[in-house]
Amino acid sequence: MSFDLVLFGGTGDLAWRKLMPALFQAFRHGTLPAGGRIIGVARDDLSDAQYRDLIRSRFDEVDLNKRPTPEEFERFAQLLHFLRLDLSKPADYERLKKLLEERQADTVVMYLATAPTLFTTVCEQLAAAGLNGANVRLVLEKPLGHDLASNREINEAVRKVLSEKQIFRIDHYLGKPAVQNLFAMRFGNALFEPVWRREHISNIQITIAEELGVEKRGAFYDQTGALRDMVQNHALQLLCALAMEPPINAHADAIRDEKLKVLRSLKRWTPEALDQHVVRGQYTAGTVDGKAVPGYREEPGVDPQSSTETFVALRTEIANWRWAGVPFYIRTGKRLAEREAHIEVNFREAPHAIFNAPAGATNRLVINLQPRDGVELHMLALGQENRRNGHTLAPVHLDLDFDKRFGSERVGAYERLLLDVIAGRLNLFVRSDEQEEAWRWVEPILEHWRNDARDPRSYAAGTWGPPAASAMIARDGFCWPEEC
């Protein structure tokens, strides 16, 4: 199957840091369909050769194991082309159309790695140039808008020129191998389904923590914040994967229908819940990996008086029969103590204790997303030494490390998702009604913060966030993993 992948923003940060390395890995693994062409599009005045040299130089900055050898890059570079294009000029789209018509590829992927404010313009110009045929697929990066109204505006503009099955709204967390294994664990095994409900689970915690600050994205991040950047998309998609009912099959709409039901079942916010169950934080100067780092307001591009949140912790519930009364906790932030993402499923205590057990010890299922990828099952066991101490149980755990088990076969998130776009598989992409429902749920939080004159709660860089996040979960009698 021949394909053309047109990368709008082809010289930008996302293109060289994520997309090009992912495409190269697919090329290296032999999974990128033959007869492909990758066309970088931007306002820069570059020839094909200059664009290839630019990408070659950028590969020196990616992880060592993802860098091509000189011979590998020479072969990969034959796929790379460049077209100077001003996104607002119809004549430039005509030049793009002429380039694409040279060989009439089976599939044309338009990947918009640009600011979301340009999505509507690009879609309108593509349609005006007749570049919205049945063989065209459009990839939209997050954030898709900054609130419900802007999200709807973008979706409506896109749907005017393309059908829903041609639109791929990407959330790279859905491409992570560990998230794929979350679906496999739940729906490919009979072991967990009988206990995957309120009668057996006391609470579920989702943590997405970053050691890094805003880096060179201060101006962008200051207009976005952690709620829009991480919760509205990544965290809620993880929550859906955890809480959804088994779909009738593995087809895209069957999966997305069940995720939508979860989003519609999330308890709506009340003023009392917004005060008690949502914590907004912002990092101050601190130490990360033994190095002093500045506070958020001292970062380049950030307003010195900024009230943008770099940390969010919240508590929510799902109002349905499976999950009624089970709290779901989400926390995410920058400049935290460690870089890690994991899900912790905490089970209820045994109904009748016949052994001595450490206080508060329960069964836990930990799903590690990054930097490790795997599953841990925490249990209680009786060893020979403990038999002499009055049948006292001790914590043990089973640890399945997917990186070790499937190391040579692992496929990165963007690599998987780009291959799915080329193949036309929508399973791991977000439907417009999912996105709108997620925005509808977070909007009361945004509105609450807009009307709150107080600064975000401060936390020192290199810690686990403001103490209020610990107090929030402690009110229910629970704790975050590092505090238990």
Ranking 130-139, 251-260, 261-270, 381-390 by mean pLDDT, the lowest is: 381-390
Confirm whether 193 is domain-assigned.
yes
Strands 36-42 and 80-84: parallel
Confirm whether 118 is domain-assigned.
yes
Which stretches of 170-277 are assigned E, i.e. beta strand? 201-209
Which CATH number characterizes residue 13's domain? 3.40.50.720
Per residue in 256-284, pLDDT tens? 999 999 999 999 999 999 999 999 999 99
Do residues 345 and 458 both lie within one domain? yes
Calpha distance 284→359 (Å, rounded): 35
The number of helix segments (H) and strand segments (E) in the chain equals: 18, 17
Do residues 427 and 357 both lie within one domain? yes
Calpha distance 248→202 (Å, rounded): 27
Do residues 58 and 206 both lie within one domain? no
Q: Pick the closest to residue 231 from 413, 443, 457 (CA basis).
A: 443
Whole-number pLDDT of residue 67: 84
Catalytically active residues are: 234
Whole-number pLDDT of residue 392: 80
Calpha distance 13→153 (Å, rounded): 26
Spell out a b/e string for 248-275, using b for 16 or more CB atoms within 10 Å of the CB, else e: eeeebeebbbbbbbbbebbeebeeebbe
Instruction: Give strand pairing partners of 137.
Output: 109
Spell out a b/e string for 124-158, using b for 16 or more CB atoms within 10 Å of the CB, else e: bbbbebebbeebbbbbbbbbbbbbbebbbebbebb
Do residues 131 and 273 both lie within one domain? no
Q: Pick the closest to residue 178 from 343, 421, 388 (CA basis).
A: 343
How many Cβ atoms are within 10 Å of 348's Cβ, its own excluded? 15
Instruction: Give strand pairing partners of 282.
Output: 458
Confirm whether 158 is domain-assigned.
no
Number of domains in the chain: 2
Do residues 197 and 324 both lie within one domain? yes
Do residues 300 and 380 both lie within one domain? yes
How many Cβ atoms are within 10 Å of 372's Cβ, its own excluded? 17
Whole-number pLDDT of residue 382: 81
Joined tokens for residue 5: 């992948």
Which stretches of 100-146 are assigned E, i.e. beta strand? 107-112, 136-140
Which CATH number characterizes residue 455's domain? 3.30.360.10
Do residues 293 and 397 both lie within one domain? yes
Whole-number pLDDT of residue 409: 58
Ranking 71-80, 126-135, 157-166, 404-413 by mean pLDDT, the lowest is: 404-413
Residue entry with tokens 């309108």: 124
Ranking 99-108, 311-320, 391-400, 469-478 by mean pLDDT, the lowest is: 391-400
Q: What is the CA radius of gyration of the chain?
A: 24
Whole-number pLDDT of residue 344: 97
Residue 276, domain extent: 174-483
Which stretches of 372-419 are assigned E, i.e. beta strand? 374-381, 394-401
